[in-house]
Amino acid sequence: MPFYFRADDMPELAGLTRWEQRMLLRGTFIKERAISTLFLLIAVIGSVQFVINPLIEQFQPGMRTNSLSYVVALLAWLFLLMWLRDVIMMNVLRPKLAVKRAEMKQAADDAALAKVADAGQNGE
């Protein structure tokens, strides 16, 4: 099974606009996203405490006293971990995305069929 880094490359999301992809990926699977956010929070706190801070103290001892550069480094690390979480969740949820996409297509087909049936009943 291939691993995708961009939503545009996934066959399950092909043909959707960027906004529709974002809504489907971030707004549909709330439970999974909440659990992954808890893991992200633990990863951020643990990695900053036990990886980032010791590395900064070893290679740039004065960086933690310069609050701006330290904040930039921590924000860059946070955004990297968030991107990594989104990529992993996108690939883990591929089967669920395929099912949700099929449901969306079926709902759109049903709505179009109902519209045609209503137009036929009204004599149009």
Q: What are the per-10-residue average pLDDT scores of the chain (124 residues)? A: 84 84 80 91 95 92 86 94 91 86 83 79 66
100-118 residues labelled b (16+ CB within 10 A) or e (exposed): ebeeeeeeeeeeeeeeeee
Instruction: Decide: 97 and 11 in contact? Cβ < 8 Å.
Output: no
Structure confidence at residue 123 (pLDDT):
61
pTM score above 0.85? no
> How high is the pLDDT of residue 124?
58
